[in-house]
Amino acid sequence: MHVDKAKKRIAKLINKGFGGYPHIELAYFGATANCATEVVVSFVLTKGDAPQQQRFVSKQDVREDEAIQSVLIKIIERANANTVSEVAGVTVVA
């Protein structure tokens, strides 16, 4: 899947808003606010459950990495997530 197509699908799911559980949250991290080198996917099956997390790391911006964006789509689909949310921006880590 092309990176632009994957990004549009993820954005569309995020824009739907809260639709219940299961819930997936995407959080991006990087050395600068302009380049996210890591994405953390948090999965919560039901309200009150502790999130399960999976990390993906790249030397380039993960938001522009076709393989990682395609994997995010597959994770969302396989989890049958009713809600997909995203932490705004890139959290800078030293």
CATH number for the domain spanning 20: value is: 3.30.720
Q: What average pLDDT does the segment 7-34 reach?
A: 95
pTM of model > 0.85: yes
For residue 15, give its domain range: 3-92
Q: Compute the mean pLDDT over every residue in the chain, rounded to the nearest whole number.
A: 95
Three-state SS at 57: strand
Tally of domains within the chain = 1
Taking alpha carbons only, the member of 50, 45, 38 closest to residue 24 is 45
Judged against a pLDDT cut of 70, whether residue 1 lies above it is answered with no
Tens of pLDDT, residues 54-89? 999 999 999 999 999 999 999 999 999 999 999 999
Identify residue 50 by its one-letter amino acid code.
Answer: A
CA-to-CA dists, residue 52 to 32, 40, 44, angstroms: 26, 10, 7
Rounded mean pLDDT of 6-15? Answer: 95
CA-nearest of 82, 93, 81 to 27 is 93
Look at 94 and 20; give whichever has higher pLDDT. 20
**Could you read off the pLDDT of 27-43 as tens digits, one per residue?**
999 999 999 999 999 99
